[in-house]
Amino acid sequence: MSLEVALQRVVQIQGLLSPPPPPPPPAVTGTPSAFGQALQAAGQPGAAIAPMPASGGTPGGRAALAAAQAEVGQAEQPPGSNDSPRIGQYRQATAGSGVGPWCAYFVSWAARQAGTPIGDQGQGYGRVDDVWAWGERTGRAIPAANALPQSGDLIVWDEHIGIVESVGPDGTINTVEGNSSDQVSRRSYAPGERPAVGYVRLG
């Protein structure tokens, strides 16, 4: 037996004694779940896990939230003016409102876009107090001490209002708000950082 043939036999015997490598994992098709996306994001250097959506939420509330999310970055022109062509469109969702603080205009607009307008006749409101009073009259108002918010709930503070986007595992409330730093902004509030009066549930 030549040396070359002997070496070939040794390689064949080693192949028989070594287990074959495991097959590659099956390819993942389609869009990963929200949990899968969070895991993928966590694997990226410097990436943070996005907060999970707030539990529940009505269809109308979620639709209002989607409308609000698409507006993030819309800003006053000029800054500090409480106005811009787009903010003028938000004002049209309220009855008889002029140029002024526009956080309630913004949520009135988002609710109208969602097909769940605010107000007894769907007229919207330019004042936060009026939104809360309407929520109380119609059984939609939920005091903050009584419940956690859901995605799409309006979150009401003294003289300011926004829309709940999500709640973090530690209870941090993430929002989309009009008239926040002169624009539509995303904000986050740790538990106890900015206590809300309560929430108004749309739908």
Residue 88, CA atoms < 13 Å, CB-side half-sphere: 3
- Alpha-carbon distance values, 8 to 17, 84, 101 (Å): 15, 80, 84
Q: Where are the chain's structural domains?
A: 3-42, 59-200
Neighbouring CB atoms inside 10 A of 52's CB total 13
Q: Which CATH number fits domain 59-200: 2.60.120, 3.90.1720, 3.40.1350, 3.40.720?
A: 3.90.1720
pLDDT tens for the chain, 203 residues long, are 566 655 566 556 655 565 555 555 444 444 444 333 433 433 343 333 344 444 568 999 999 999 999 999 999 999 999 999 999 999 999 987 899 999 999 999 999 999 999 999 999 999 999 999 999 999 999 999 988 899 999 999 999 999 999 998 999 999 999 999 999 999 999 999 999 999 999 98
